[in-house]
Amino acid sequence: MLHFIFQLPIDSATLARIDADDVVVFFESALFKLLKTGVFSELLTEKLKTNRLCVVADELVVRGIAADTLLCGLDIIDYTELVNLSVSNTLIQSWT
């Protein structure tokens, strides 16, 4: 399954609904939860062991977030890869 997470707040209950091997793409203000210093950094680091967590490069630029401030292991993708993920996943859950 592919998950799109857009807005804050992200809570642990939302993250618990993400199964192993699901792919998650973060957008908009949800990107701020991916910072190394974020409240969910430990929980998201654990998710990285079983899930692919992604951000779109242009989303980082728009918000002025440097890649080196993000959790290690996140995939920074472009819009072509986002389309590929959307096509290859039959189920998509949007968390807004």
- What's the total number of domains in the chain? 1
pTM of the model: 0.92
Residue-number span of the structural domain to which 87 is assigned: 2-95
| pLDDT at residue 53, rounded to an integer | 97
List the end-to-end C-alpha distance of the chain, in Å, as a whole number: 16
Question: What's the CATH code of the domain at 54?
Answer: 3.40.1260.10
Q: What is the mean pLDDT of each run of 10 residues along the chain (96 residues)?
A: 87 88 95 89 93 97 95 97 96 90
At residue 64, the pLDDT reads 95
What local confidence, expressed as pLDDT, does residue 19 receive? 95
Q: What is the pLDDT of residue 62?
A: 94
Q: What are phi and psi of 22, to 5 degrees?
A: -70, 155
Query: Is residue 4 within 8 Å of residue 40, measured between CB atoms?
Result: no
| pLDDT of amino acid 24 | 97
